[in-house]
Amino acid sequence: MKFVILTGMSGAGKSTAIKMMEDIGYYCVDNLPIALVEKFVELADLHNSELQKVAVGIDIRNGQALEELDEVLEHLKNEGKSFEILFLDAEDSVLVKRYKETRRNHPLSGGERIEKGIEMEREQLAFLKERADYIIDTSQLLTRELKAEISKIFEKNQDYKNLFITILSFGFKYGIPVDSDLVFDVRFLPNPYYVEGLRYKNGNDKEIQDYVLQYKEAHEFLDKLEDMLQFLIPNYIIEGKNRLVISVGCTGGKHRSVTLANELYKRLEKNKEYGIKIEHRDIDKDAKRK
């Protein structure tokens, strides 16, 4: 039997993930009391059981009983029972925003601010995050992207490293993305904005790509950046980093940054040791077409 414990921060997408696990054939039980975990595993693991794939949701709703889970998991391990832990996380600012949008209270906040409840929850779930086999940061993930990551792990059985990379193009005139981990300025390249017929196109158009990539400096930049990232990414994985935002900026975020972000994505997506996606934050701002 394949047994998965699905846990993580409130508001990080556990309910959605449970439904996704059901869609790929898992028998799912949400908010299972800690006192029933061992008995549930025992029943599900019977030789005549039809349950081959089981996922249980365990989180802060268990209250003080959550403290007993570490001992329960250690006992299961000593009994030779195999299990995997999927931990869903998100940035505090994202969690606060989600709670405000749904007008719900955090289960630990009581009369305090939502931020206080999140802080307390992180402390109480720290041991589970340390034990986790898979950590998915949903801060910047769309529902379909979360589904793809879960499918990769539990349906396709692909090796999974707990790092998800976002390559983000942006315009400096609109500000540097606040969630950036690495920022690169490509304003050293000639700007297509000043070329007749190119101003109202963007880096997804072949004309812009041809213009930007005609310069050897663009290729040298990509080569050097790729080489640096090939060094950094494995070390980020070793250190347990689970989200990396690589931001590439030009003046308006429409031409040079989009082109080079696309090229960088093509180079990095071949590596299956991490998840990766690309976004163009400012490509449609002040958009005008002739």
Give the pLDDT confidence score for residue 82 in this predicted structure: 87
Extract the residue ranges of the chain whose pLDDT is less than 50.
Answer: 289-290
What pLDDT score does 56 carry?
93
Query: Tens of pLDDT along 65-76?
Result: 888 998 999 888
The number of folded domains in the chain is: 2
Same-domain check for residues 14 and 150: yes
Which residue's structure tokens are 């086999």? 133
Expressed as residue numbers, the domain containing 56 is 2-154
Give yes or no: residues 149 and 9 share one domain: yes
pLDDT of residue 229: 96
Residue 287 domain flag: no
Quick one: pLDDT at residue 283? Answer: 94
pLDDT in tens, 194-242: 998 999 999 999 999 999 999 999 999 999 999 999 999 989 888 878 7
Alpha carbon distance 152, 136 (integer Å): 12
Question: Is residue 137, in this structure, part of any structural domain at all?
Answer: yes
* Residue 61: closest CA among 14, 112, 114: 14
Report the C-alpha gap between 187 and 172 in whole angstroms: 9
**258 and 123 in a common domain:** no
Q: Are residues 65 and 129 in the same domain?
A: yes
What is the structure's pLDDT at 289?
A: 46
**Same domain, yes or no: 246 and 212:** yes
Position 158 scores a pLDDT of 61
Domain boundary among 120, 154, 188: 154
Domain end residue (candidates: 154, 178, 205): 154
Same domain, 275 and 133: no
Same domain, 149 and 261: no
Quick count: other Cβ atoms within 10 Å of Cβ 125?
22
